[in-house]
Amino acid sequence: MAQADAAAFFRDAPPRVVIEIIRRLPARSVLRLRSVCKVLRDVTSYQPLLAAVHLLHLPQPLICFGRDACPDRSIRFRDYCVEALHLRSDMLRPVLRFITDSEYYDFIDNIQGADAPPIYAFTKDHIYYGEGDGDGEEVGDGQHYRPRITVHGSIDGLLLLSFINIWYICNPATRQWVALPDLSNCTVIGLYAHVSSGEYRMLVHTGQDDGATWTRYYVLRVGAEEARGIGRPIPPPATLHVGSLSIGLDPVSLSPPVQLRCNLHWPPQERQGYHMLVFDTEAEVFRWMSSPNPIREGSTQLLEMDRKLAMSVSKVGRPTLELWRLEDYRNEIWVQIYRIRIPVMEIPDLHYIDWFPHVVSPQGDVLIECSNKLLLHCDRNGNLLRKFQFREEAPVVRHALKETLLPHAIFREPKIADGDVEPPFFEGL
């Protein structure tokens, strides 16, 4: 009777009511709801509903951290977690997990995990730990290592992940994933949507970071086996800065870009003279645009704000943050939206430790990463809203994820039934 009543409700309720209900549910609950409600299995009614819900969902910052899977260490496994923080409710929700041996990673034992994507690494020479994140750690006798999963980027509900020398694109909401070619010999600098073709692509470059070797840029279509070289495309008006691209860009994990329309934007980097580098994803050429002031000190991060580009500026241990918005894209006019001051003296948790604040939302929400394994959430007025204490290691705030249930052509059919076997990074959710 309960299922019949629920089905009748979803059949007869106004679409707006159904949307308001579903947008408050985690993606996994929506998938379960669809599996028991025949009305929502109808593609003609379900697809528009998913599209509407996707537009209403707000991006949520991702919190990455590691912990012992068993607190009393009776089972010696390491649990690498990625969780989404809902800024309005201050609730953390699991997105994905990846479990390895906490003492060392035994490649021979783990390489044939029953449901794991393939991992090919047998010696230290074959291990690629990511882009300078320091995520790998040698322990013991030098024969065993602690690789970990790393979140490199996010777009349209998709996450770009790496583990050892294998990279993946996954949608944690639908539990779909696809493996990428070996990227250990290049630097990944961007993940973007190619608007005209509907494809997802990655921008990478090869060459040493010393200017002595020729740096070349490549475009890799997700699903392709090989990347396509594009050289170092600079239009004639931008040749003044042509030397800036000779040593490449910072990795995507250190300097994540933001896509706005058909352009991919990077935060200001010293090697670009503190100008913002822009990549036209359709014409596949680079150009530069100015940043506020310009900014030569502090850490900068980009985000989207009311369909415009925004930039947060902060410094380690400094209580003042700024949020700028690009009001006039064509004329490159920036306007300061918020100037946020953290009342350090009123927050004892910030005394005598290292901490780093940054703006993570258009509303001016601030997350503060602390060396004492705390994460603090403040509003744009500097008021402390909530603090999260982590056990084994300090959390790292990564890219925002806008959860989506919309289908992506890069994946095979989704596995949504309760009995389905899934990749290891969805285990336990």
pLDDT in tens, the chain (429 residues): 556 666 677 667 776 776 677 666 666 666 666 555 655 555 445 555 565 555 556 788 999 888 877 766 666 677 788 899 989 889 898 888 877 654 444 444 443 333 333 333 333 333 333 333 434 443 333 444 455 678 888 998 899 988 777 888 998 888 888 889 888 888 899 999 999 998 999 999 887 655 556 788 999 999 888 899 998 777 655 555 544 677 778 888 888 899 998 999 999 887 777 788 899 999 999 888 888 876 667 788 999 888 899 999 998 888 999 999 999 999 999 999 999 999 999 999 999 999 999 899 989 999 999 999 999 999 999 999 999 999 888 888 988 888 887 778 888 654 444 444 445 555 434
- What does pTM read for this prediction? 0.77
Domain ranges, ordered by start, for the chain: 1-56, 57-426
Q: 57-426, what's its fold? A: Neuraminidase (2.120.10)
Residues 319, 25: Cα–Cα separation, whole Å: 36
CB 68 within 8 A of CB 78: yes
Backbone angles phi, psi at 47, to 5 degrees: -65, -45
**3-class secondary-structure state, position 166:** strand
Radius of gyration of the chain (CA): 22
**3-class secondary-structure state, position 3:** helix
CA atoms within 13 A on the CB side of 182: 10
